[in-house]
Amino acid sequence: MARHLDIDLLRTFAAIAETQTLGRAAARIGRTQAAVSMQVKKLEDMLNQPLLNRTGRGVVLTLHGERLLGHARTILRHHDAALADISGAGLSGTIRFGCPDDYAAAFLPAILRDFAGRHPQVFVEVFCAPTPRLLERIRQHALDLALTSVAETDAKAEVIRREPLVWVGQAGDKAGARTPLQLALSDPDTLDHRAACAALEAAGRPYRVAYASGSISGLLAVVRSGQAIAVLTQAAVPADLRILGVADALPPLPSVGLTVLFDLARPPALVTEFATHLRTILPAL
């Protein structure tokens, strides 16, 4: 009897691979966690290979799972492109999208991959910069929309996801124990810069902003050199660096909210569709 790879099973598997937990994958595709677990088992039984290893923090792909993921993404991309093309449901045009560096590193691959599958004729221009610079470009109508950070106390913003700010250092170094504390921070008007300074001043911890960079790559390079610690959103912390906290004599930091801003009061259909996609996918990543 011929075997066929079911599109729904592949979509569930791809969601699990991207979110790294069954719970977040279930929320993303609109199913229960039990249903997602059953779909994985069905796929493993069909292929007669284990695809996932359960860990204390979620799931990781096996070697067979990694191989299947490449095929699954290709199949889903062609399937969704064919559906959009033949049905006429796909949109076309250009979107000018702004996004902070740390969100780009953590979330953009999944965001763009899913949107391209549904609307393969859309061209997305991505501009990465700290939130204050994105706000400037929105006011100048140089962007159609932007994913930006807002303070957790901002009651007016439509927050679609909250991200904790965390202290980040190189594993095993003593940068967090220096006096004064050496910091690598983003622009002075960013939420992470202001939150770090306010927390240290409230705790009476001497510090010095020794390095500054508007890009996450610049901040990470300084941290990896062992010369300073930085403040990032938790989702953007690379695996080779360590989150620091109370045990390192560092005060807690607030969370920030993620929200979408438009340059027009009534954005066109293409921009609205992309914003809807952001609101749908970001909470589950």
pLDDT band at 88 (very low <50, low <70, confident <90, very high): low
Q: What is the pLDDT of residues 197-213, one digit of tens each?
A: 999 999 999 999 999 98
Please report the domains of the chain, with CATH numbers, ordered by start residue.
1-89 (1.10.10.10), 162-255 (3.40.190.10)
pLDDT band at 219 (very low <50, low <70, confident <90, very high): very high
Could you tell me the CA-to-CA distances from 180 to 74, 110, 252, 259 in Å, in that order? 51, 40, 18, 35
Q: What is the pLDDT of residues 26-77, one digit of tens each?
A: 887 888 999 999 999 999 999 999 999 988 888 999 999 999 998 988 888 7
Q: Is the pLDDT of residue 144 over 80?
A: yes
Q: What is the pLDDT of residues 263-279, one digit of tens each?
A: 888 888 889 999 999 99
pLDDT band at 99 (very low <50, low <70, confident <90, very high): very high
In the chain, the amino acid numbered 220 is: L
What pLDDT does residue 1 have?
A: 56
Angle (nearest 5°) at CA 114 between 104 and 52: 90
Q: Is the pLDDT of residue 214 over 70?
A: yes
Q: Where are the alpha helices (DSSP H) in 119-233?
A: 131-139, 191-203, 216-225
Q: Is the pLDDT of residue 239 over 60?
A: yes
Query: Which has the higher per-residue pLDDT, 169 or 172?
Result: 169
| pTM, rounded to two decimals | 0.71
